[in-house]
Amino acid sequence: KTKIKMKVTEHIANSKGKPLISFEILPPTKGKSIHSIYEILDPLMEFDPSFINVTYHRSEQIFKQRTDGSFNKVDIRKRPGTVGICAAIMNHYKVDAVPHLICGGFSKDETENALIDLNFLGINNVLVLRGDPPKGEKYFRPHPNGHNFAIDLVKQVVELNQGSYLEDDITNADTTNFCIGVAGYPEKHFESANPMLDLMHLKQKVDAGAEYIATQMFFDNKKYFEFVKQCREADIHVPIIPGLKPLSTQRQLTMIPSIFHVDLPEELVKNMMNASTKQEQRKVGEDWLFQQASELMEHGVPGLHFYTLGKPDLVYNVMKKLT
Ligand code: FAD
């Protein structure tokens, strides 16, 4: 059984070359209870995951119609609760939880307060990200008192680890002990001019203090293998955990590339197009995920990180076959 209150890097070191398993979930939409999270995770706990990631979400501006027909612009945070969910998961399952933290939509102070909460709760892992522009906006704009890039948030966490808070009159502060992960993109981050520049920015995040990389999803393992090779050549030597997403519908063939900026291999697209029923389409996705996961395992990757996102049963079936 895996141990709790360990850093992701300690989990990897303890696994002695055997790929560890992790799952990623989203907080439920506001109004739903923690049981909606337990319903997703309960069956998956059979596979003894080393940690569970919980994503972080900014608020969005939406227009609400008033009774007189005019519109009112309001800020709505649809999926709050990341910190609380992480604590609940650790309590309930005795398994580590890794909260994501994002720059977009949050001030440095709000982020510091979230880090203080995490520290009090004994949550010593964070996956640090920039975040995307909110729906309806094309370009990322930082919060007026926030960070522009993930690296700036990495630096804030590193400073807290050294006992340095935003207010400089806090002296002799206790240090925190966060293990920091960052995102890497085997198929390049969509805003980056070229793969080498993106890799240079990734290296800067690692040099600033990130201890491992979690990858964006990919559907062709060759892209991951090539990315790891390029990282090593660029002197990035931290573990690179592959991220895997289950595909289950024909509709995703167009949605996934437009949302996540990744390619779908010809064979996968062909198989999915030839599957006429919903059941057949799920089977295509499941077979593909199984193939990807087993090849990565044979290859000795540090872990398999599953983007569970609403498809826990598909991930369950694949894990069942893998173990
Ligand atoms: P960065 O590392 O800041 O990079 C963003 C872009 O800026 C890249 O193109 C990079 O090359 C470039 N860049 C970096 N530094 C510089 C610099 N100094 N000068 C110029 N350009 C630079 N989003 C959420 O909202 N919540 C989540 O929970 C979440 N979880 C995620 C988990 C994973 C594993 C991944 C892969 C993504 C996740 N995302 C999440 C999405 C993520 O926020 C977006 O992909 C975002 O567009 C980029 O985030 P980043 O941390 O990679 O940004």
Q: Report pLDDT digits (tens) over 119-178.
A: 999 999 999 999 999 888 889 999 999 999 999 999 999 999 999 999 999 999 999 999
Could you identify the residue written with the tokens 């975040």?
A: 131
In the reported structure, the alpha carbon of residue 204 is separated from the centroid of ligand 1 by a whole-number distance in angstroms of 13
What is the reported pLDDT for 2? 65
Per-residue pLDDT reduced to its tens digit, 20-53 = 999 999 999 999 999 999 999 999 999 999 999 9
The answer for 243, left when phi > 0, alpha when psi is -120 to 50, beta otherwise, is beta
Distance from Cα 190 to the centre of ligand 1, integer Å: 10
Q: Does pLDDT of 229 surpass 80? A: yes
Give the DSSP letter of residue 160: H
The model's pTM: 0.97
The atom number, within ligand 1, closest to the CA of 188 reads 9
pLDDT at residue number 311: 84
**Residues whose CB falls within 8 Å of the CB of residue 30, separated by 6 or more in sequence, listed in order:** 77, 78, 79, 80
Query: Is the minimum distance from the CB of 226 to ligand 1 under 6 angstroms?
Result: no
d(CA 219, CA 235): 25
- Those residues whose C-beta lies under 8 Å from the C-beta of residue 81, and which sit 6 or more positions away, are 27, 28
Rounded Cα–Cα distance for residues 177 and 16 (Å): 23
What's the gap in Å between 114 CA and the centre of ligand 1?
19
Assess whether pLDDT exceeds 90 at residue 309. Answer: no
Tokens 């309960």 belong to residue: 42
List C-alpha distances in Å: 143 to 6, 54, 110: 32, 22, 11
pLDDT score of 1: 61
CB atoms within 10 A of CB 144: 6
